[in-house]
Amino acid sequence: MPDSAKTALAHRPPIRLLVVEDSPSVREFLVYLFASDQEIQVIATASNGEEALEAVKTRKPDVITMDLHMPRMDGYAATRAIMENYPTPIVVVTDSTASDDRSTTLSALEAGALAVMKRPTGIGHPDHAATARELIQTVKLMSEIKVVKRWAKQKTPAAPAPDTLPPEPPLMTPAARKHFRLVAIGSSTGGPLVLQQILSHLPKDFPIPIIIVQHIAQGFAEGFVQWLAESSKFAVALAVNGTVMMPAHAYVVPNGFQANVDTYARVTLKKDAAENGHCPSVSTLFRSVANAYGASAIGILLTGMGKDGAAELGLMRDQGALTIAQDKESSVVHGMPGAAIALGAATQVLGPDKIVSLLAGLAQHS
């Protein structure tokens, strides 16, 4: 590291972290873990949601790690209360993938949590260093996110109904009125809510299959799919090897597999190496879509850390596909879409509402 960078780091105030965890041993483990990084300072801990809310009010942390199941006030209720009163970046940290925990975790994301992470493995486990590093890096990045207040649920304005969307959005040109056969979406941090917004506002007879890679913690893909299905008007399912994609269906690639598609709309899943640190990887999927579908595909890269899928969105564009990157204003983290925009890979840069309008309009001509 150059001396100037070291000097800047030395003068940068540490990230103020609140650790919320009801288990004393796990709480101690997390505090020890974060204490190993000089850029993070654990300013307080809490053993339940009520203590967390008070700590946020009085200590004003930069970022919070949030447990799920706690006495007196659970992780979902605490997240909702914090985001309604003292908006602060929240990372859910859990070691359980039980159905109840998956539901609570996704509800916490809906209430405003930015990410869900598996608790790092214990010291001595072969994966300890990697899992600890991933959590620390996520907490650092999330601390820089400028979150906004979430209004109480009853005060949230209703989203526009699908039939109020313009049938032919101004963004669509005559040249864009072609026959599209597949929509491929890549998404990471902040993506679940955007995907929910997009899928819930597409018509139930949306005539183009959708395939999705969402970076999400191991064990939560099934609950994520169920959560999306409950808010969508068409079928949402976890892709399996050999799936033939159908219109009015969305398919989510499961954890631990890389996904490829062929010209017969068939999905192949392989236990393959991670790409860009991810399995599934958006890059793997988009490269496959570019080869199999060419100009008849739509590629969408949503909010997320890193650059997974950015260059491959460019491959899709080179093949004549319609390529879309989420705009900076609506992205929780503009890493992936920002990288695609910098490469010139996106033919459109849009917010979620405009993405819905564009897809709904294009679908009428497919």
Does 176 have pLDDT greater than 70? no
Residue 94 pLDDT > 50, yes or no? yes
Predicted local confidence at residue 102, as pLDDT: 66
Does CATH number 3.40.630.10 belong to domain 14-153?
no
What average pLDDT does this structure show over 208-213? 97
Longest dimension (CA), the chain: 62
For residue 66, CA distances in Å to 82, 91, 132, 336, 363 come to 11, 6, 16, 25, 40
Q: Round to whole Å and give the CA distance between 365 and 43.
A: 56
The CATH H-level (homologous superfamily) assignment of domain 162-363 is: Methylesterase CheB, C-terminal domain (3.40.50.180)
Selected catalytic residue, list 308, 331, 334, 357: 308
**105 versus 193: which is more confidently predicted?**
193
pLDDT value of position 346: 98
* CA nearest neighbour of 140 among 160, 172, 114: 114
pLDDT of residue 122: 87
d(CA 251, CA 228): 11
278 part of the active site: no
Annotated active-site residue 308? The verdict is: yes
Over 70: is that where the pLDDT of 325 sits? yes
Res. 179 pLDDT band, cuts 50 70 90: confident
Count of Cβ atoms closer than 10 Å to residue 110 Cβ? 18
What pLDDT is stored for residue 187 in this prediction?
Answer: 97
pLDDT above 80 for 134: yes
Domains 14-153 and 162-363 share a fold: yes
Averaged over 229-238, what is the pLDDT? 93
Confidence class of residue 153 from pLDDT cuts 50, 70 and 90? low
Residue where the block lists tokens 């808010």: 231
What is the C-alpha to C-alpha distance for residues 356 and 231, in angstroms, rounded to an integer?
15
When comparing pLDDT for 221 and 7, which is higher?
221
Going from N- to C-terminal start, the domains of the chain cover: 14-153, 162-363
Give the model's confidence band at 97: pLDDT under 50 very low, under 70 low, under 90 confident, else very high.
low
At residue 161, the pLDDT reads 43
* Amino acid at the residue 52: A
Mean pLDDT of 144-167: 53
171 pLDDT above the threshold of 50: no
Active-site pick, 201, 215, 249, 278: 215
Helix locations, the chain, DSSP H: 3-11, 24-35, 49-59, 75-85, 99-111, 128-142, 191-201, 221-231, 282-293, 310-318, 335-342, 352-363
User: What is the β-pairing status of strands 267-270 and 258-261?
Assistant: antiparallel
The number of angstroms, rounded, from the C-alpha of 40 to the middle of its chain's C-alpha atoms is 24
Amino acid 177: pLDDT: 53
**Which of 187, 188, 232, 330 is an active site residue?**
188
DSSP 219-287: T-HHHHHHHHHHH-SSEEEE--TT-B--TTEEEEPPTT-EEEE-TTSBEEEE----BTTBSS-HHHHHH
Mean pLDDT over 1-11 rounds to 53
Work out the average pLDDT over 236-250.
97
Does the annotation count 100 as an active-site position?
A: no
pLDDT at site 366: 56
- Which SS3 state, helix, strand or coil, does residue 182 take? strand
Average pLDDT of the segment spanning 332-340: 95
Q: What is the pLDDT of residues 101-119, one digit of tens each?
A: 666 778 888 888 998 888 9
